[in-house]
Chains A and B, each alone.
Chain A
Amino acid sequence: MDNNFNINDVIRNTLQNSTKDICMEENSFQELKVRIEKENKSLKSILSERFYDYKAAVKFNTRKAVTSLLCALLIATTLGASFIPSVRAAAIDVVKTYFYLPVKNAAGDYDTAEVLSDVVEVKLCKITRTSLSDEEISGELNFTVKIPEKLINKYEISEKWLVSGLKTSENVFAAGVYKLQGSADKAKFSLSIMKSNSYEYKQISECSSSDINKNQKNLRIGDTEVFYQECPVLKGLEELEMQGKYSEEFYTRFASEPHEVLTAHEMHWEQDGIGYNLTDNGNNLSMEDMTAIVEEVINSK
């Protein structure tokens, strides 16, 4: 501490004494004044006043210039490379995403085909389970949902779903119907209900004439015309639906993973502005049973 105090004192005194005789020359301010006045009249000063610091503005900054040049070179190279077909193909290959859709093969059976996501714009929908009653669902959807709890005394509703992520603002209601009798006979099917003028129902009705479908028939149950057909469906569809890996566009079903394809049986009809779609999702429900179910749903109104 004592040492520090002494050395500090010594330094301070030395610096003071070293500059004791240093003083400004008498006319030094006059020289400065002349210089300022001279500069004030020059163009430099005018520029300086107008542009605040003209020196900085015109000063060539080497680092900035080199950085700009390198950036320009990089941009030019990237732009140039983007026009080279092999580079473009490689870039697309990196970002491409495949989807899988069911197709009919030469033998008339169903199979999956790999498609690039940029070929068809695929929008995956999400289905959520609901525990709401029919009345509550009707309130939610703005249309009346009314289906018997039991169908042809063999099948009863086990699950209800609301489908979201579709193009219309109104959701689609779907009810999963399971056969409960006997473990050997595990046939299950689903019944979807939506407004007949909705985008989703139009997809079903307009695309039912697609080449991919088989055994199309028009049936008449009472006064109602019912359309029947066989179509491809991805195996494990419900799981895909629940995981959001499934999409239905123009009645073509896509999955984000390759899947086995089954033959599903469908019936759709329109009644009082509501569209219905009954499908067994490849579970081989007999046409007689399906007809009986449709009849029961129609007659329940």
Chain B
Amino acid sequence: MDNIKLIELCRQGDMNAFNSLYNEYSPKALKTAYLIVGNKNIAEDIVQEAFYECYRSIRKLRKPEIFQAWFNKLLIRICWRMAAKERKTVCGSLDEGYDENVSTYMSVVDPFENSELNEVVRKAINKLDTPLRTTVILFYFNDMSIKEIAKVLNCMQGTVKSRLHNARKYIEKDLRKDNFLFPSEKIENANKECMING
């Protein structure tokens, strides 16, 4: 069924339509929440709470076409609230790495050398503060545009851009600290070596 029709039915209180909506959006919502708070159990609670709020407030949503952004706003707000409430637990888990129960080591084809690089990036993202981390997650994981992120986070587009820039800078810094170099840098270094040896 078309998403707009689904949302219209949800607005009328149709539980089956809401079930379909849940099945469609909950997996991505869970992953987003997990990336923000770093704990699967809390992420599940957040998704439950977000959909509960969604069911209660969907009547307020005037334009069904902006459901995704509206729902993300709801989700992020709950994530931040829960993260603030569970700060100690979340910080602990972030410092130690994500849930051990969940396999975070990837088997996908890595663009660079090994899974070590991903681990370093993951830790670098975890070290970012909540607004920066959320911006990175919405941009890279949810594939949202800067304009959409600005609406979801209720801030200026310039703020989103600067957060992304800063986040990238921090991650790059961590990568360099762990001796990970980018291809272009490798070429530059190789050229330098050639010059010295030559």
State the A residues within 8 Å of B (CB). Answer: 2-4, 6-25, 28-29, 31-33, 35-36, 39, 48, 52
B108 at the interface (CB under 8 A from A): yes
Q: Are A29 and B23 in contact (CB under 8 A)?
A: yes
Contact A23 B27 (CB under 8 A): yes
Cβ of B1 to closest chain A Cβ, rounded Å: 17
Closest 9 A-B residue pairs measured CB to CB? Answer: A17-B106, A19-B31, A14-B121, A15-B141, A2-B184, A14-B118, A12-B140, A11-B140, A3-B182
Q: Quick check: is B149 within 8 A (CB to CB) of the other chain?
A: no
Return the chain A residue nearest B143 by Cβ.
Answer: A12
Select the stretch in B47-55, B72-80, B189-197 that faces chain A. Answer: B47-55
Q: Could you tell me the distance in whole angstroms from the C-beta of A121 to the nearest C-beta in chain B?
A: 57
| Contact size range, B | 35 or more
When distances are taken between beta carbons in the complex, the residues of chain A under 8 Å from B47 are 24, 28
| A-B contact number at CB 8 A | 113
**Cβ contacts under 8 Å, A28 to chain B:** 26, 44, 47-48
Q: Knowing A9-B111, A19-B141 touch, does A24 contact B184 (C-beta < 8 A)?
A: no
Q: List the interface of chain B (C-beta within 8 A of A).
A: 15, 19, 22-23, 26-27, 30-31, 34-35, 40, 43-44, 47-48, 51-52, 55-56, 60, 98, 102-106, 108, 110-112, 117-118, 121-122, 125, 136-137, 140-141, 168, 171-172, 175, 182-185
Which residues on the B side are within 8 Å of A36 (C-beta)?
15, 52, 55
Query: Of the candidates A10, A19, A31, which one forms a contact with B121 in the assembled complex, judged by CB atoms under 8 Å apart?
Result: A10
Whole-angstrom CA separation of A20 from B15 in the bound complex: 29
Write out the residue numbers on chain B whose beta carbons fall within 8 Å of the beta carbon of A21.
Answer: 102-104
Contacts of B172 in A (CB 8 A): 3, 7
A14 touching B51, Cβ below 8 Å? no
- How far, in Å, is A37 (CB) from chain B's closest CB? 8
Least distance between A2 CB and chain B CB atoms (Å): 4
Contact for B104 among A11, A12, A17, CB less than 8 A: A17
**Do A22 and B30 contact each other (CB < 8 Å), given the known contacts A8-B140, A15-B140, A36-B52?**
yes
- Chain A nearest Cβ from B187, distance in angstroms: 9
Chain B proximity of A127: nearest CB distance (Å) = 61
Q: Are A22 and B118 in contact (CB under 8 A)?
A: no
Can you list 12 A-B pairs with a CB-CB distance of less than 8 A?
A: A2-B183, A4-B168, A8-B140, A11-B168, A13-B111, A17-B106, A18-B122, A20-B106, A24-B26, A24-B44, A29-B23, A35-B52
Taking CB atoms, residues of chain B closer than 8 Å to A13 are 106, 108, 110-111, 118
Inter-chain contacts of B19 with A (CB < 8 A): 29, 33
Name B99's closest neighbour in chain A (CB-CB).
Answer: A22
